[in-house]
Amino acid sequence: MLRQRVITALILLALLLPALFASSAWPFAILTLLMIGAAGWEWARLNAAGGSLAVVFGLVLAAACAAALAVGWGSHAPVWAWWLAALVWVPGGAYAMRAGPAFWPTLPSGLRLVLGWLGLFVGWLALANAKVAGVNFLLSAMCLVWAADIAAYFGGRAFGRRKLSPAISPGKSWEGVWSGMAGVLALAVLWIFLDRRFELGSPSLYSHLAERMGYAGLALALLFLSAMSVVGDLVESLVKRSAGAKDSSQLLPGHGGVLDRIDALLPVMPLAMALSWY
């Protein structure tokens, strides 16, 4: 399993890095369109839309993202898109976690598909807009999610006592959440130092927020984004548990599906864009 995970990760990096640093925006756009289409297919399957309907759902989602790119939203999306994401993810995510896995199947299947479509569409818009803001900005936002996840894993293993949401994800603890937040704050300090020390092409998310909000505002914003990365992870876990699935698919050997890899990014990226705009 470890060997399989490493091979898949290396292949993904081999695809992502050239697209990320290409002078043209198109390689990154095409790669992320393929990924978001696959994630749409997975979401439809998890929500009782199997077979050809799931394929159509993924294709329509990718086509909508491509259309947004064609009209210029890939670089300058309307600000209301970020606030729409906040409206869906913050109260909606909190309610879903409180209600638990039994709540999700009670929603009409059409509503579940629409919510997933919106989350994936706006998540892709945020990725595309962050790329235009600069590779340093995009990477710093993505690394926020990864740092929160890694620090939460090790902090949870070392100090975890109180379960965060045992009905949804029994392995997560409140101590892991606090550790993840501490890891993100430490990452921000390091990244701001690097921004000031080296010419990185564009400000990072951390330097941008510090300039707009001050350091106290930056700390609050990062704690909020760290919490929302947990919400994204738990919401996807809730959906999988409702469907009786361990992974969103087996598209990425050793890693599960695309949704399994981007679940925490889906709320964090648009909310990071909202905070940057604010």
- Give 95-120 pLDDT, tens digit per residue: 888 888 888 989 998 999 999 999 99
* pLDDT score recorded for residue 41: 95
- Give the chain's end-to-end CA distance (angstroms, integer): 44
| Residue 54: CB atoms within 10 Å | 20
pLDDT given for residue 273 in this prediction:
95
| Mean local confidence (pLDDT), 145-152 | 94
Residue 1 pLDDT: 56
Q: Give residue 2's pLDDT band: very low, low, confident or very high (50, 70, 90).
A: low
pLDDT at 200 over 90: no
Q: Which residue has the higher pLDDT, 12 or 145?
A: 145
CB-side exposure of 275: number of CA atoms within 13 Å?
Answer: 25
pLDDT of residue 196: 93
pLDDT above 60 (res 262): yes
**Helical segments of the chain, H only:** 2-21, 26-46, 51-70, 79-99, 109-133, 135-159, 174-197, 205-243, 258-262, 265-277
Q: Which residue has the higher pLDDT, 40 or 167?
A: 40
Phi first, then psi, for residue 171 (nearest 5°) are -80, -15
Task: Tell me the pTM.
Answer: 0.93
The answer, yes or no, to whether residue 50 has pLDDT greater than 80, is no
Question: Cα–Cα distance between 125 and 73 in angstroms, integer?
Answer: 7
Residue 256 DSSP SS3: strand
Q: What is the rounded average pLDDT for all residues in the chain?
A: 91
Q: Count CB neighbours of 254 within 10 A.
A: 14
d(Cα 226, Cα 237) in Å, to the nearest integer? 17
Residue 137 has pLDDT above 90, yes or no: yes
Percent of the chain surpassing pLDDT 90: 65
